[in-house]
Structure 1
Amino acid sequence: MTIRTILNYPDPGLSKPCAPVTRFDDQLAVLAQDLLETMRAAPGVGITAAHIGIFQRLFVLELSAAQGPLYYVNAEILSASEETIRHTEGSVSMPGATDEVERPRSVRVRYQDLQGTVIEEDAQDFHAVCIQHEIDQLDGIFWLRRLSRLKRERLARRWQKEK
């Protein structure tokens, strides 16, 4: 397992949509483990392959130590609730910068595990927010784009200055 270099905002790779994973092999398993180690070192609760410059639809979440890591390959949101939740978000590609984002409170997601098995699940609250955040990144939508233009510009300027 290797801790990989994370792309920093405003790297253009963070706006690049990711291609579907087509090979479920040892190479994918190694990439998933590298993502987990990189996320833990950052630290964060989620990371995509895009964050390390590999533009494939893979992300890892670790919402609690008790639950352990969750691996999502080729994830897509099938449905989302009309009810929303506001949650503070940030990114391993922009350490220290956070702001509140409003998203659907629950989602139904379809994805594959590391062996290629298709799974559908419902997620609520923080878990749903994290899934939406990471799928946005796989689609080339960096979380800042979910903020108003004024908030986005203010936060980006402040982060660049502190960096």
Structure 2
Amino acid sequence: MTEEQLERLVQLAADTAVTRYEEMRDAEHKRLRKKLKNNTIKLLRHYNKLQTYIDNAIEDSDKAGELWLDELLADMFDDKGAVNVKVIIQSKERTYIMMRHINNMLAIYREQCVIKGNSYCECITKKYIEGKSDVEIGKELNTSDRNIRRWADHGIEELSILMWGIAGVNIPMQ
């Protein structure tokens, strides 16, 4: 093998390695972008259930007795009767923090949409939180259900960046 052939072989191998690396990086970005969008959708779809949980979860062991949960939760308590209640309380606190974050980001996004004059936030709120169909939303917003699907997808991408911060910003959007 001549030196020139060896150089071409090395260059071809380097080019192939770079191309493969870029393909793998792009696939990882696509996977993470999809995961963030799915997490945003999941939180919005369960918004009302999470809010109900915050409003009704027990806050301390005294409340458990008041709510006649003694028998129902008997298996969840240890000998002291409080350890697993702490887990419920911690879960309520984490859920409360997440719901505050969701509400804050929705308010910010709603404001941005009003300024830009689009209906993306209204669309995702109606679709995911209120559970309305694309056809119903289309009638309310005087547009086609196809536009509703496009607006919802665009809105979820933008809201995901607000919800997940730098993780959403560092991923190139299509």
The TM-score, its normalising length taken from structure 1, stands at 0.19
The TM-score, its normalising length taken from structure 2, stands at 0.19
- Larger proportion of strand: 1
Higher relative contact order (CA 8 A, sep 6+): 2
Larger Rg: 2
- Larger proportion of helix: 2
